[in-house]
Amino acid sequence: MLLQNVFITLVLSAIGLAQEIDDGDIPGQCIEVCASTIRAAQNCTHIDLITDDEDEGVDLQCICISPNANTEIPMCEACIRQFGEEGGDSDISNLLRSCGFATTTF
């Protein structure tokens, strides 16, 4: 039951990620590393606006399956963890967990 509640909490916290991720969340040292992740989030949100789809899970899935997401999101998260001020608790960290990707080092 506890595991189910944790999972539900993670899913709900990830629901708005696509609209929350922008380059203002990214330390200067990580802008280049995170550019494709930011672009994927913006593109997926743009597609959502065009199709008028209210399902935020679609945005998350769109980001998670974007080209090279399985390597680029972990690299972005590792850079933010190293240079950011949030101590590894960023929108990108939440996205990494929601997509089910493994962490890496930068």
**Coil/strand/helix, residue 105:** coil
Contacts of 70 (CB under 8 A, 6+ apart): 99, 101
Residue 104 falls in which region: left (phi positive, over 0), alpha (psi -120 to 50) or beta: beta
Question: Tokens 């969340």 appear where?
Answer: 25
Question: Tokens 């992740």 appear where?
Answer: 37
The one-digit pLDDT tens for each residue of the chain (106 residues) are 444 433 333 333 443 444 467 667 789 999 999 999 999 988 887 665 545 555 557 788 999 999 999 999 999 999 999 998 766 678 899 999 999 999 999 8
pLDDT at residue 24 in the model? 72
Q: Identify whether the C-beta of residue 41 lies closer than 8 Å to the C-beta of residue 63.
A: yes
Q: Identify whether the C-beta of residue 73 lies closer than 8 Å to the C-beta of residue 96.
A: yes
